[in-house]
Chain A
């Protein structure tokens, strides 16, 4: 029944070791978003895809990359995680780029050792 699915739910990685988080959706939405949410803070948009067009937020560090191989899947790659990257990473989708509501997955909680 879940429409936006994130895997894994919990991820532990070592300082500097690349990590990939995944998101899939069954809604056939055109837009997919990645947010970073730190404890007791608002979600912060990292980037989004409209179909295959990638849109990076100006303040998203170069350490964060994304791939969208098809409509259903989107990946977040963190090339060299630092301690400050420990957070909940949320994937969201919306039907298109107009003012449609965004639907979120349950997130991946990333810990850095």
Chain B
């Protein structure tokens, strides 16, 4: 079993739809949770960063963490074609004297005009 599971998609939705992206994890030591957006041929870009259970909102993006269920989500409201990208969840824990990030496989999202 992978430490972090993420549905690879692809996911295709019409412009304006609400998008829900999800990851589950098995390691209770994960303390920090991130969502990265990666456009084709570019590096991952940090979207959201949180450490507590609950919701964190930033514009059209809401990150949700449920530590009891080991489940995190990213919601995108009023989705735009420019949101089309691969979305990677990532989690970190302190291991061997350093922060270690573990990524999900990424969900490829397409927003259709």
Contacts and interface: CB of A to CB of B under 8 A. Distances in A.
B49 A48 contact: no
Interface in B44-99: 44-46, 49, 51, 88, 92, 94, 96-99
Interface string A13-53: 00000000000000000010000000011110100101000
Contact of A97 (B4, B8, B43, B99): B99
Contacts of A106: 41-43
Contacts, number: 62
Nearest to B4: A42
A99 interface: yes
Contact of A48 (B41, B46, B98, B108): B98
14 contacts: A40-B108, A42-B105, A42-B106, A43-B103, A55-B96, A90-B44, A97-B99, A99-B99, A102-B101, A104-B46, A106-B42, A106-B43, A107-B41, A107-B43
Interface of A: 4, 6, 31, 40-43, 45, 48, 50, 55, 90, 92, 94, 97-107, 109
